[in-house]
Structure formats: C-alpha cells, structure tokens
Structure 1
Amino acid sequence: MDTKKKTKKSQKLSTLLGLNTEIKDSLFSVGDICMDKKISRAFFQLILIEKGEGIHLIDSKKFPVNDYQIHFIFPNVTHQLNLVGEHEIFHIEINENIIEKFSNYMMFPFSFYRENPVFNLSEDNFHRILYELINVEKTMKSNIDFWEVIYGRIRIITLMISKEACRLYMKKNNNTASSLMANFITLMLTHYKQERSIKFYADKLFISPNYLNILCKRQFGKTATSIIINEILLEVKRTLMTSDKSIKELVYDYNFQSMSSFSSFFKKHTGLSPRDFVIQNQNIKLF
C-alpha cells in the first residue's frame, strides 16, 4: 500500500524535549510511526491523531483509532499502527533523559498510562495540546533563552493530559474512592502553594487524614503527603531555575514562616539548600 496516498499530512517534532538542541526536519514518512508493521523504540513517544480510523496494537492489545486522540508509547513497547483512508498525525519522540520530568508532572503514575495508553480528547483540548507542543518546537528552534518558556509549556501540556487521565480514571472506576481521589487532586492543584497539611484536604473531603493517605497509597502508590510535597518541590525547582525570583519571595509565595523553615524543608527533600541548588544548576542546559 502506498503510504503517501494514505496520508494527508504528517508532522514530527523531532528530538522534542531531548538534550539535542538541533531540530531535525519536521516532515517525516509515515513509516516512522510504524504503519502496518510492529516496532519498538528506546524513546517515549506521543502520537496525536487529528483525523484517522483503524486499529493501534500496543503490547498485543487492540485500541480503536478515532479522531482527536493521544496515544502514549513507552520505551521498548512493541506497537503497530494500522490506519485506513486519509489521516493527519503528529508524532513526538521524547528523549529518555526527560521522561522522568514528565512523570513528575503527571498526577497519575506512569503505570496508569501504560494500562490506558489511548485517550479520546475533545476537539478543543486536542488542539490546545497540539498548539503547546508546536510552540515548544518553535521555541527550541529559536536562539533565545527558552528555559522558562519550555518549562511553562510542559506544565500546561501535562496538566491538560492529567485532566483527561482523571476523566478516564473516573469513568473506569465509578466509585466513591475514585471520586475522592479526583477531588483531592483538584484541590491539591488549587491550594498546594498555601496548604501543605493533609488535614486541610481531608477536611475538605470529609474524611480522616489517615484514610486519605490510605486511598492515595492504594490508587497512586504514593501517600497524600508525598503527592503534595512533590508538587511543591517541582514548582519551587522550576522557579529557582527559570525565574529571577529571590528565595525570600518564594518563602512568601509558598506560605513558609521563615527563610529557615523554607530552607530546611527544601534541604530535607532534595539534599541541597535552595542556594546550593541554584549554584549546582545555573550552568546546566537541559534542552
């Protein structure tokens, strides 16, 4: 079958979010997305399908292909994409060195996305995610300092994906525990800068702090405390690395009582003081 006739438009954001700042040609052949043949790669891949119909075989499981979908392909996973008719696909390969940063920003563990690798999106959300990814590529092609822009867009992309994951999670697990976890994540993303206490979130959910921890451990493999702390550390690190904000400003932003309490919190969970973290990372270029 002539793959050129099967495809209307294909675009690749090569080496997206990898360590190489040289961007390859954006256009690529459909064969690069394993059309009609099984393949596995040592990259994390996102496949966005704007228009398409067929079957995507991922780890021997069949997933129907429809318009406005996002497909997660993990490193060394065998998959085969079989499409019929015209289709529009956007294929993104992510360097393994950046996967951990994506996993940290995702509110669900990667095991959830391995079990549920295909998401149906609304047309609006699909184009929002695609817009952010394309702008990441444009930023990487420019000669400007893009630390803050890249991190900001990663944050937006992963939050949108996490919201879709939350909807899928609720749909597949239509029970009280699932509803509580979805509400906890929503509350945490809203209040984490000002509220670090599990009791605050447990009271909002009308359950005990202990039960909230049990549910989080059962559903996410993490305690509620570690989820909250992880979110705070991610944003503090991002701010320290990408903005001109002083440590004193962060103490205020994140509702710490003093510079000392903020520094103790940061060092406890990272092994470095905020100043040492800045010094250690100031000359590192991730992208």
Structure 2
Amino acid sequence: MQRSFSSYNNNHSQHLNYNAADPGIVSYLNIGKDHMEGGVEERAFSMFLVGKGVGSHVIDGKPKDVHEKQLHFVFSGQDSNWALNEDKGLEIDTLHLSETVFETFGSYLKYPFSHYMKVGAITLTEESFEKFKYEFMNIAEELEDRQGGLLTAEFRLKVIMLMLSREIYKMHYEKRMDSACLLSRFITLVFENFREHRDVKFYADELAVTTNYLNILCNKHLDKTATAIINRELLAEIKQYLIASNLSIKELATLMHFRSVSSFHTFFKKNTGLTPKDFQNKYMGTDISTTISEDLS
C-alpha cells in the first residue's frame, strides 16, 4: 500500500521517506514540474490544491483550466494530463491515497463517484481554499509524527473528504433546491438510521414521499438506488467493525440489527463477494492506527 502527500512548490524542495517495509508505508516529497506535466493513468485517488498556477489539466480527455484557488481531483484509473506554465509560478499541494486507502475513506465522499469524476475540478472561495490548505499542510506534519499524529491525520482525511463533498453539494445541488433538499435530508436520515432501518419505505415515509419517487430522485441525481445508498453506509460500518473491533460475527450481526447470522452473512457476501470472516482475515494484518485504515468502500 502506498500513500503520499506531496507539496508542489517551485521555490521549495524537501524529501521525507519512510521505509517501504514499514506498516505505515507513508512518503512525503516536493516534486518538480516534470512530475506534473505529461500524461499518466492515476493509480491513486489524488487531490491537487492549486495555490498558484496557470495551464490546463485534461482528465479522461476533458480539459480543465488551471488557475489559483482550485481543487482538482482524479480517481484511480483515470487518465490525467497536466500542461502548466512554469513562468507564471507554481504552488500545488497534492494528496494521494492508494486504492487500498481510498477504500477506507472513499465513503466520506457522500455522492456517487461518477459525480466527482464529471466535475474533476472546482474553484474555491478564499475561505474554502484556506480550510483545505490548513488540512493538507497539517496532515503532513501529523503523519510524520508516527507515534502520536496518525489518529489525528486519520481524522483530517475524513474532514477533507467531507469538505470536498460539501463543495460538490454547493456546486451541484444548491441550484436544484427542491430535489437537493430532499436528497440531503434523505442522506442525513440514512446516516442516522442505517443500522436499524434498511427499508426504503421507512425513509420515504419520513420524507413524506413515495418509495418510487425517492428512487427516481436517487437514480437521477446520485446514479444509485435508495437501497444502494443505504447499503453503502451499512457496509462501511460493518467493514470498520470487522477490522477494528473484537466483536464476534454473531455480536456484529446483532449490533447491526440482522435477524440472524445467516442473513448477515448473505448480505455481506452478496455485496462484497467475501464472507465476513474472509474479509476479516484478508485485512487482519491492517493496523488502523498506523495505516489509517477503516476500509469504508
């Protein structure tokens, strides 16, 4: 597993590397212009916070103008091609999460990944930019403090993902307030009730709409069914407990309000392709405090 935080600044250079054999496998570096230009298929989820820079960034063939106070984001498997004007000055902080780590924190992106992929880049207000900058820079310091800072860095990764979701909400959904408000209320209800309530009818009743209408809205604006959104949160929670807790499978099934261990087993395998025990064994060597891992896919 590889995870790196990179600060791109043409006036500054430093390198901090941990041994690749270390469980944390964390590396930091300042990269030069040759690392940003050209085409590459991303092997990580990457965020680029542009403090200063002019040029273009083509993601999967779609060009995005590059200018200051922007956040660009590229998913694993997407083609990313940068062309930057170095004469204009460059200051780009980047945060990269490997595919494994992204499985952990990806669920904090509260809308379907397809929405983020379509957008690719957003222009931030001064206030939002400074908030992202603060989190980016502090995460580097805290991950360097391998003894005491990793848990705080884990929290910051969650915050960054939620901040990105908030920016997407402001950009995409505030213009469609009726549908957006209902979907926002639905997602909030899911966060609060997914352990006890997995039936779409419960949420539709709470929102005073039909299940069919709720599904239509979810499919139209989130590219997922209402059930898929509920199940995603439930699976994220289950995976976290499987890795991080000492609960037995039976205890976890009870905690998540499944009627039996058998139904819990069937639900998990249907949605992940693995039994709960197989999933637990696969990630048993993962130490959350040192790898920043909760496997929230």
TM-score, normalization by structure 1: 0.73
1:220 alignment partner in structure 2:
222
SS of aligned partner of 1:39: strand
1:40 is aligned to 2:40? yes
2:95 alignment partner in structure 1:
92
Q: Conserved in 2, the CA contact under 8 Å of 1:54 and 1:66?
A: yes
Q: Which residue identity does 2:208 align to in structure 1?
A: F
1:47 is displaced (CA, Å) by: 0.5
**Residues of 2 paired with 1:187 and 1:13: CA distance?**
43
1:3 alignment partner in structure 2:
none
Query: Which one of the candidate residues 29, 32, 39 is aligned to 1:29?
Result: 32
Q: Conserved in 1, the CA contact under 8 Å of 2:28 and 2:140?
A: no
1:136 is displaced (CA, Å) by: 5.1
Q: Which residue identity does 1:223 align to in structure 2?
A: T
**Residues of 2 paired with 1:206 and 1:47: CA distance?**
41
1:244 is displaced (CA, Å) by: 3.7
SS of aligned partner of 1:222: coil
Structure 1 unaligned blocks of 5 or more:
1-5
1:65 is displaced (CA, Å) by: 1.7
SS of aligned partner of 1:277: helix
1:205 alignment partner in structure 2:
207
1:105 is displaced (CA, Å) by: 4.2
1:234-259 Cα offsets, whole Å, 9 max, x none, are 12102221234555664465344555
Q: Conserved in 2, the CA contact under 8 Å of 1:170 and 1:182?
A: no
1:54 is displaced (CA, Å) by: 3.2
Query: Which one of the candidate residues 112, 122, 125 is aligned to 1:109?
Result: 112
**Residues of 2 paired with 1:119 and 1:240: CA distance?**
36
Q: Which residue identity does 2:159 align to in structure 1?
A: I
1:192-227 Cα offsets, whole Å, 9 max, x none, are 233322122212322111121122122222211011
1:61 is displaced (CA, Å) by: 2.5
Identity across aligned pairs (percent)?
A: 31
**Residues of 2 paired with 1:79 and 1:117: CA distance?**
13
More deviation, 130-139/201-210: 130-139
**Residues of 2 paired with 1:136 and 1:82: CA distance?**
28
Q: Conserved in 2, the CA contact under 8 Å of 1:105 and 1:155?
A: yes
Structure 1 pair 79–199 and aligned structure 2 pair: CA distance change class (3 A): same
1:11 is displaced (CA, Å) by: 7.9
Aligned residues: 273
Structure 1 pair 250–159 and aligned structure 2 pair: CA distance change class (3 A): farther
Instruction: Tell me how large the CA RMSD over aligned residues is.
Output: 3.9
1:177 alignment partner in structure 2:
179
TM-score, normalization by structure 2: 0.71
**Residues of 2 paired with 1:98 and 1:91: CA distance?**
16
1:116 is displaced (CA, Å) by: 0.9
SS of aligned partner of 1:66: coil
Q: Conserved in 2, the CA contact under 8 Å of 1:10 and 1:89?
A: no
Structure 2 unaligned blocks of 5 or more:
1-8, 292-297
1:79 is aligned to 2:56? no
**Residues of 1 paired with 2:267 and 2:155: CA distance?**
24
SS of aligned partner of 1:40: strand
2:294 alignment partner in structure 1:
none
